[in-house]
């Protein structure tokens, strides 16, 4: 005779609470996602206007890298992949002669537009974050 775990057992409740906590965190991240993409866009445009400025290059690269590494784990893999393509293109621009940069810059702007659209869609799907969503202190 089997003994199924009641749906209100402590184990089930704890697992549900954990899933709820993750969902709340994801909703908060989704709500802020367009702003994160916008910060990356601003950094990329600032660097475009001063391509020899290593500080601006580093700023753009760090933001693309963070979005690449994080968005997928929060449940937004398409945004993470678009940021990854931007990161790759930035690396190409950094490491190749300037006459070879046109295709890489084109990739930057194409992937940026894609990331912006995906981020806005993610925010719309998430709706308003629950009270305190995504605000857990590290």
Partner 1 sequence: MTSIEKALVVDDDDDLLRLCKVSLQTFTEWKVSVADSADAALHAARNEAPDVILLDVMMPGGGGLSLLGQLKGCPKTSGIPVVLLTAADATGIEACRARGAVGVISKPFDPAVLPEQIARIVRDAGER
Q: Contact residues for partner 1 (CB under 8 A)?
A: 15, 17-19, 21-22, 25, 29, 65-66, 68-74, 77, 80, 84, 134, 136-138
Q: For residues 138 and 133, give the distance between their C-alpha atoms in angstroms, rounded to a whole number.
A: 14
Closest CA to 136 of 39, 20, 10: 20
13 φψ region: left (φ > 0), alpha (ψ -120 to 50), beta (else): alpha
Q: Least distance to partner 1 from the beta carbon of 116, Å?
A: 18
Q: Least distance to partner 1 from the beta carbon of 72, Å?
A: 3
Q: For residues 33 and 18, give the distance between their C-alpha atoms in angstroms, rounded to a whole number.
A: 22
DSSP assignment string, 100-113: G-HHHHHHHHHHHH
Rank residues 12 and 73 by Cβ distance to partner 1 and give the closer one: 73
Q: Least distance to partner 1 from the beta carbon of 111, Å?
A: 16
Q: For residues 36 and 68, give the distance between their C-alpha atoms in angstroms, rounded to a whole number.
A: 11
Rank residues 36 and 47 by Cβ distance to partner 1 and give the closer one: 36
Q: Least distance to partner 1 from the beta carbon of 101, Å?
A: 24
């Amino acid at each position: 005779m089997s003994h199924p775990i009641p749906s209100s057992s402590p184990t089930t409740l704890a697992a549900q609470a954990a899933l709820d906590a993750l969902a709340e965190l994801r909703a908060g991240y989704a709500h802020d996602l367009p702003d994160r993409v916008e910060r990356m866009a601003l950094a990329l445009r600032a660097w475009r206007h001063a391509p020899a400025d290593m500080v601006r290059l580093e700023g753009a690269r760090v933001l693309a890298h963070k979005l690449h590494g994080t968005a997928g784990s929060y449940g937004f893999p398409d945004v993470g992949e678009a940021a990854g393509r931007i990161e790759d293109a930035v690396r190409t621009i950094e490491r190749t002669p300037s006459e070879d940069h046109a295709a890489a810059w084109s990739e930057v702007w194409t992937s940026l537009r894609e990331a912006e659209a995906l981020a806005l869609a993610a925010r719309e799907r998430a709706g308003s974050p629950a009270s305190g969503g995504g605000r857990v202190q590290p």
